Structure 1
Amino acid sequence: MSSTDDPRDALPQYVLPLVVRLERDAPPARTDALEAAARAVLVMLSDDRSHGEGEWAEAMGAWQDARIRKVVRRARGAEWRRAAALPGLTVTAGTAEVRVFPPVPLDGWPKELAKLQVSGTELTDPADPPARAPEQALLWLSPELSMSTGKEMAQVGHGAQLLWYALPEPDRKAWREAGFPLTVHTASAEDWSGLTTSGLPLVRDAGFTEIAPGSCTVVADHPAARRV
């Protein structure tokens, strides 16, 4: 089925907004921002307000029924304070703060978020990320693609979401209760091919920005996922 024939395209399109705090004199480390973004998506998916009769449930359902889009913007100072005042959830990871908001229509962003910059978010790491701890999920980024940090944040968020869907309910519950331990690494060129054919949750980008449609961007690994 081509993208133009996808029945999801006939549905109202929503986007999940994420905003990373990017103060001029204290930018977060790249891996911290990636981990915070992935965890923010999981926190939103699992929040009681996103289900049943919850206040965010209708928007969450509409977002998940159509194409699942995420957009990462950046804010500092007063911009961040205005964004933080809107309904949503703030997640921290090391030096990073990311706020996630209930899905909004593709062309219906709140003015406090619509004015924030979306392109050109580039962060670096002061050192290589630590090795994966046994309890952590691991989101593997493609070594073959060049993406902005903002794009990478959206991709690892999607990988975390696919992993959430793939896990049995008892493992979801345990992961949530543990605070969604996870880390993000870039795969080696030697390992990437095997990861993309492993049967683990795999993100293929829709190609709306930066990279070609169908590009494999993230593989999500969790001990429980290998048992499914």
Structure 2
Amino acid sequence: MTDYADREPFELVQPIILLVDREEPAGADHGIAAVALASVQAFMRDPENPAWPVWAAGAFAKSVRRADAKMFAKVLAAHPEHVLSQVGGASAAGLPPMPAQELPKLLAKLQVSGTQLPEGDPLPDAPLRIMLNASLKMSTGKSAAQAAHALFAWLIEAGQGSVDAWADAGFPLTVRQLDLTAFVAGQRSASGPVIQDAGRTEIEPGSTTAYVVAVLPRS
């Protein structure tokens, strides 16, 4: 099942490519954080790209695809507009939005479903935290897409002072996997929207998946 099943033919999606090294794969939370960071840094690099407002007016659709080291290098070379984001040992490349049904062949042949990284070490605490609903038992790829949704939603609603403070600090970011009780309780402290999934893959429509808690100066 693809992540753009049932989409309109020209609905825009943001491709994000996650490096899944066959010999030394990164930990899951590192990969999730790298994907989320790649999503927002691609926007911050070129916010004047006319595709962004059209995409943001829709469902913030993302296509998180995996590539081994060889294919990842090919993607970087073929798409110089990419932004490379790294968190610990994880790397992800973010691209601007493009029509889901017109992805370049190199991207279209990369796998979407079933992306799973090993648990790995937890990320250190940071002033910007992405909280994930672990009770949904999402794959690494699905969790990464939801984390990217939450981070992007925070970015566009946060004051410029908060975004600048985060960027000036080097984009510190962590991921927390919460059981249902803690996830629901923590929503009261959310710094942006609580993400509800459309239910196209893995989980039921309307499932609450992620939100951001940011402890940053306000504008």
Range class of TM-score, shorter chain: 0.7 to 0.9
Distance 1:77 1:189, change over 3 A: closer
Distance 1:66 1:218, change over 3 A: same
Q: Residue in 1 aligned with 2:76? A: 84
Q: Residue in 1 aligned with 2:3? A: none
Q: Deviations over 1:127-180 (max 9, x none)?
A: 3x14524xx201111032011100111010111111112211111112122222
Q: How does 1:1-228 map to 2 (within 5 A)?
A: 12-47=10-45, 49-51=46-48, 57-85=49-77, 86=79, 87-127=81-121, 129-133=122-126, 136-198=127-189, 200-201=191-192, 202-224=194-216
Q: Which amino acid aligns with 2:156?
A: Y
How many residue pairs get aligned? The number is 210
Question: What is the deviation of 1:90?
Answer: 0.8
| Structure-1 separation of matches of 2:62 and 2:123 | 27
How high is the sequence identity, in percent, across the aligned residues? 31
Q: Which amino acid aligns with 1:140?
A: M
TM-score (normalised: structure 1): 0.85
Contact 1:15–1:63 (8 Å) recurs in 2: yes
| Structure-2 separation of matches of 1:213 and 1:193 | 17
Contact 2:149–2:195 (8 Å) recurs in 1: yes
Q: Deviations over 1:24-54 (max 9, x none)?
A: 111111111011111111211211x222xxx
Unaligned runs of 5+ in 2: 1-6
Contact 2:128–2:216 (8 Å) recurs in 1: no
Distance 1:94 1:224, change over 3 A: closer
Contact 1:33–1:96 (8 Å) recurs in 2: yes
Distance 1:12 1:224, change over 3 A: farther
Question: What is the deviation of 1:198?
Answer: 4.3
Contact 1:196–1:216 (8 Å) recurs in 2: no
| Structure-2 separation of matches of 1:185 and 1:216 | 15
Unaligned runs of 5+ in 1: 1-8, 52-56
Q: Which amino acid aligns with 1:41?
A: S
Contact 1:20–1:74 (8 Å) recurs in 2: yes
| Structure-2 separation of matches of 1:216 and 1:17 | 22
Higher Rg of the two aligned structures: 1
